Amino acid sequence: SQQGEEDPQALSIQEGENATMNCSYKTSINNLQWYRQNSGRGLVHLILIRSNEREKHSGRLRVTLDTSKKSSSLLITASRAADTASYFCATLDTGRRALTFGSGTRLQVQP
Amino acid sequence: DSGVTQTPKHLITATGQRVTLRCSPRSGDLSVYWYQQSLDQGLQFLIQYYNGEERAKGNILERFSAQQFPDLHSELNLSSLELGDSALYFCASSVAGGPPTDTQYFGPGTRLTVL
């Protein structure tokens, strides 16, 4: 079963704009991770944020985590056409070993 | 390239048949995970092996089984295939398979089509 719900389901922006995706989850977690998937291909790990962290940066990516609201957001700044992909949040739930994935956000960046 | 390899890339077979999917983890990773991605169920965890032993089980059907060999590669066996088993099957690996900072790296997947 999927824990995370991602919002929006689909997002279309122009190159250079920022893209923000949100993820909500239901249970207590050890960490939350964001992955990117290009159409029908493998998942690429983007960033991991631990439950005791509130914000993390990696290049043009900024992730926030609010455990009180059970939510996370992924911000991609200065988007590029190559950022076009589906983005998934995944939680490592407390007491579990495998990831629980959200339903994903399809991002389309128009050149 | 994540360093995780999966074969074959594509598999087309008929209902009732049995197939084997293979995964080689990244060098040094002891843990292997199998996931299924389908349009209706999304990405779902099937099973995890750590250093040759089963460690966690998810939504894996009884018709499916897996193992991890001494060289740490893993195989996922799917039998009595049904149309609904058509999906992308991903393998992921991690160093240890449990700590909060243990990142899972995904292979390119095997696309299974059951006709």
pLDDT tens-digit series, residues B1-19 = 889 999 999 999 999 999 9
pLDDT digits (tens, 9 = 90+) for A2-38: 456 788 999 999 999 999 999 999 888 888 999 999 9
Confidence at residue B41, expressed as pLDDT on a 0 to 100 scale: 82
Return residues 15-54 of A near B (CB < 8 Å): 30-31, 33, 35, 40-45, 48, 50-51
Contacts of A33 (CB under 8 A, 6+ apart): A45, A46, A47, A48, A49, A89, A90, A91, A92, A99, B103, B104
- For the stretch B56-90, pLDDT in tens is 898 899 999 999 999 999 999 999 999 999 999 99
Residue type, position A52, single letter = N
Residue B98, pLDDT > 70, answer no
| Pick from A88, A90, A98: CB nearest B48 | A98
The three-state secondary structure class of A67 is: coil
Phi and psi, residue A17, nearest 5°: -80, 165
Q: Could you say which of A2, A42, A99 has the minimum Cβ distance to residue B107? A: A42
What mean pLDDT value characterizes chain B?
A: 92
Indicate the SS3 state at residue B18: coil
pLDDT for A1 equals 41
